[in-house]
Structure 1
Amino acid sequence: MAELHCHIEGAAHPDLVEAHAARHGIDVSAIIHNGHYVWHDFTSFLAAYDLASSVFRTEADYADLAADHLGRLAAAGTIYAEFFISPDHAREAGLSPEAYVAGLSRGIAQARHDHDIEARMIVVGVRHLGAEAVERAARFAARPGQPLVTGFGLAGDERIGAPADFARAFAIARDAGLGLTAHAGELCGAESVRATLDALKPSRIGHGVRTAEDPDLVRRIVAEGIVLEVCPGSNLALGLYPDAAAHPLKQLVATGARVTLNSDDPPFFRTSLADEYAFAAQAGIDAGTRLGFTRQAVEAAFVDEATRRRLQDRLGLVAIALGAPSAGG
C-alpha cells in the first residue's frame, strides 16, 4: 500500500496522545474514551482534533508522532506515505516551523531505519486563514534545505475563499519545483474541483469525490490525468454520503479516473489505510485494481525519480507474489 493524503496531527493515535498529554500535564479525558476519540459532529471533531494536537509541543514530540504513524503504516504493509504539515499549526503549538519540520524529519528517518518505509511531507496553507497566510506557507515550503518537504497543498474550510485567491501561493510553490495538490470536491460540489483546476493547476486533488456528480468534469480529469486522493472512511464519518453503498469510489474507478486510497485523519474516523483497501474490496473492486491504487500513488508521489523507481521495484515484487501484472495495469 501507499498513501498520499493524511494530516500528521490527525494521524495521532489515542495511546500516543494520552502518553504525551501526561508528559505535558494536559487533560484529554473529554475526547478519548476506551482508546478511541469521541466526537459527534464536525464542530466537536475539530475541537477533539485541536486538543489532541496540543499535546505535541516540541521537536522530539513531533519525531515521536511521525515515527509512530509511519511504524503503524509499515506494520500493515505500506511502503510509502506522504503527510500534510502546517507551519501555522506549529506556531500555534509554540514551535518554530523549522523545528517542526526537523522533528518530523527525525521521525521519518527513524521509521525508514526501523521499518523500511519511505515518506515525504507536504506543506499546506489553510485557506480559512486567508490568502496571505497561504502565501506565507508556500514561501516556507519553497525554502531550500528541506529535502523531505516535496509538495505544497491547500487545506482548510473549502467553503471559504475562491481558489483564485490562492493562485499566487501556488505559483510560488510551482516555481520552487514542488508537487501541487489541493483539497476540493469534499464539502463543496464539482464546481469546486473545476475552479481549483482552472486557478491552481494542481496535479492532484485532495478528496475530489464530488467530481462524480458532473460527467463533463469526470471526462476532464480523466483526459488530464488528474489524480484523486480519495478518503472513503473520512467521507462516511463526516456524513458526505449516507452509507457505503452511496460512496462514488467504484463509479470513479469505472470512469478510468486515476484514484488513490487514503485515510485522511485515521484514528479520528476509526479507519486506517488497510481499512480503506478493505472498503474497496467490499465495494466489489478486485485485487488487481486495488494494487493499481498503490501503483497510482507511487506514480503520483512527490518524490525524485530514483526513489520512485525503488518504490516501483518493491511494488513489482508484491505484484509477482500476488500473481498480478507488475506494471502498466
Structure 2
Amino acid sequence: MRPVTELAKAHLHLHFTGSMRHATLVELAERDGIRLPTSLTEDWPPQLSADDEKGWFRFQRLYDVARSVLRTEDDIRRLVREAAEDDVVDGALWTEMQVDPSGYAARFGGITAFTDLVIDAARDASERTGLGIGLVVAANRTRHPMDARTLARLAAQYVGRGVVGFGLSNDERRGTTAEFGPAFAIAERAGLRSVPHGGELRGAAHVRECLDHLRPDRLGHGVRSVEDPDVLARIVDAGIALEVCPTSNVALGVYRTIDEVPVRDLVAAGATVALGADDPLLFGTRLAGQYAILRAAQHFEDDELAHLARSSFAASSAPPHVREAAERDIQQWLERPTDGGMQA
C-alpha cells in the first residue's frame, strides 16, 4: 500500500494546545517545575471518556494543565512551529488551527495581543516549513454568548491577515446554541467561515440546531448526523463539510471502536468528509494516523483515502495554488506503484 504520510492533505480540525508534542509538554513542565498528572506522563496517552459531565471535566482538566505550561512567547512560537512540522511530515499542505484567545489572554497581554502573537507565529512557521496555515478563532460555549460576540469582532479584524474562520468549541452539552447565533452572524458578515462543533456529544437534533442558528460551512465532527436521514440530507444538499476525527470519537466514548465511526455512511450519503486529529496531545494520534486507522479498521482502499484527501481541500480555505498543487500530488500518489504492502 502507498504510504499515507505521502498523500497530500488539508488538516481542518486541530486545536491549539492539543497540537503540542508530548515531549514538548514534558520538557516545558520540567522547566517550570509543573507537576503533570500521571495520565500525561507514564500513562500517556490518557484513558478518556466524555459519556457524562465528569468525564468531560477530566478531559478539560488535562487540557488546562497542558495549556498551563505555555508561559512565554517562545513557547507559543515553538508550539505552532512544531505542529506545522508534524503536519508536514504527515503530508499536509494546508492546516487550519483553532484557538480561543480568551484562554490565553491573562498571560499574554489580552486577546488582541495573543492573537497578534499567534498570527505572527503561524506566519513564521509557514515560512520555515512551507505549510499553509490559517487560523480559526473559536468561542467557548461554556462562557457567556456575549464573550463569543467579542471574539467574533476580534476575528473580523483579522480577515485577510491569517484568520479564516470562526468556531464554537468545548462541551457540546453546555450552553444554548441559538444564543451564539449573533456571534456567528458577525463573523459571517466579515467573510469568515462558520465552523462550529456539533454532532459529537449530542445527536442529530443538535446538528439541526447548529444548521438553523449558526449557518455552518463546516461542522466540527458532525458524525451523529447519520442518526437522522433528513438532517444528513440537509447537510449534503447544503454542501456542509464534516470534520471527522475517528480517534477522538472513540477516546471520548462517542463510539466504542473505530469500526463504528460512520465515515463510510457519511461518504456514501454524499457528505464532504475531512479527517482531522482534534487533539493529538491527548488522543495520541496525528493526522496521517487517521487515514492509516481507516485503512486498517475499515479497509479503506487507496482511491477512497485519496477521495477523503481531496475532500479536505475542497472544504478548506486554502488558496487556489495550494489546491492545485494538492490535486497534482494526490493524482501522482495514486499513480505510483504500490510498495509491496508497506503501511505508514
For the pair 1:22 / 2:34, whether they are aligned, the reply is: no
Q: How does 1:124-273 map to 2 (within 5 A)?
A: 124-144=138-158, 147-273=161-287
1:286 counterpart residue number: 301
**Cα offset, 1:56, TM superposition:** 0.8
For structure 2, the 5+ residue unaligned runs are 1-8, 50-54, 337-344
**Cα offset, 1:44, TM superposition:** 2.2
For the pair 1:295 / 2:310, whether they are aligned, the reply is: yes
Contact 2:38–2:44 (CA under 8 A) maintained in structure 1? no
SS at 1:4's partner residue?
A: strand
User: Whole-Å Cα distance in 1 between the matches of residues 150 and 85 of structure 2?
Assistant: 31
For the pair 1:319 / 2:339, whether they are aligned, the reply is: no
Aligned residue type for 1:315: E
User: Whole-Å Cα distance in 2 between the matches of residues 285 and 265 of structure 1?
Assistant: 23
For the pair 1:7 / 2:2, whether they are aligned, the reply is: no
**Cα offset, 1:145, TM superposition:** 7.2
Q: How does 1:77-96 map to 2 (within 5 A)?
A: 77-96=91-110
For structure 1, the 5+ residue unaligned runs are 325-329
**Greater displacement, 82-91 / 103-112:** 103-112
SS at 1:260's partner residue?
A: strand
Root-mean-square deviation (CA, aligned residues, Å) is 1.9
**Cα offset, 1:128, TM superposition:** 1.0
Contact 2:104–2:111 (CA under 8 A) maintained in structure 1? yes
2:342 counterpart residue number: none
**Cα offset, 1:110, TM superposition:** 3.2
Contact 1:121–1:151 (CA under 8 A) maintained in structure 2? yes
User: Whole-Å Cα distance in 1 between the matches of residues 158 and 248 of structure 2?
Assistant: 34
> Structure 1 residues 28, 11: CA separation in 2 closer, same or farther (over 3 Å shift)?
same
For the pair 1:308 / 2:316, whether they are aligned, the reply is: no
User: Whole-Å Cα distance in 2 between the matches of residues 250 and 227 of structure 1?
Assistant: 14
SS at 1:36's partner residue?
A: coil
Aligned residue type for 2:60: L
Aligned residue type for 1:58: T
SS at 1:151's partner residue?
A: strand
> Structure 1 residues 272, 146: CA separation in 2 closer, same or farther (over 3 Å shift)?
same
**Greater displacement, 21-30 / 268-277:** 21-30
**Cα offset, 1:144, TM superposition:** 4.1
Structure 1 length-normalised TM: 0.91
**Cα offset, 1:223, TM superposition:** 1.1
User: Whole-Å Cα distance in 1 between the matches of residues 158 and 267 of structure 2?
Assistant: 38
The aligned length equals 321
SS at 1:187's partner residue?
A: coil
Q: 2:41 aligns with which of 33, 41, 46?
A: 33
SS at 2:79's partner residue?
A: helix
Moved over 6 A (4+): none
**Cα offset, 1:40, TM superposition:** 4.3
User: Whole-Å Cα distance in 2 between the matches of residues 224 and 162 of structure 1?
Assistant: 23
Contact 2:195–2:219 (CA under 8 A) maintained in structure 1? yes
**Percent of pairs identical after alignment?**
34
User: Whole-Å Cα distance in 1 between the matches of residues 108 and 240 of structure 2?
Assistant: 37
Structure 2 length-normalised TM: 0.88
Aligned residue type for 2:308: F
User: Whole-Å Cα distance in 2 between the matches of residues 22 and 220 of structure 1?
Assistant: 49
1:65 counterpart residue number: 79
User: Whole-Å Cα distance in 1 between the matches of residues 272 and 77 of structure 2?
Assistant: 32
Query: Larger relative CO (CA 8 A, sep 6+): 1 or 2?
Result: 2
SS at 2:104's partner residue?
A: helix
1:251-288 per-position Cα deviation (integer Å, ceiling 9, x unaligned): 11111111110010012111111110012212122212
Contact 1:298–1:312 (CA under 8 A) maintained in structure 2? no
1:120 counterpart residue number: 134
> Structure 1 residues 145, 240: CA separation in 2 closer, same or farther (over 3 Å shift)?
closer
Contact 2:48–2:59 (CA under 8 A) maintained in structure 1? yes
1:327 counterpart residue number: none
Contact 1:37–1:48 (CA under 8 A) maintained in structure 2? no
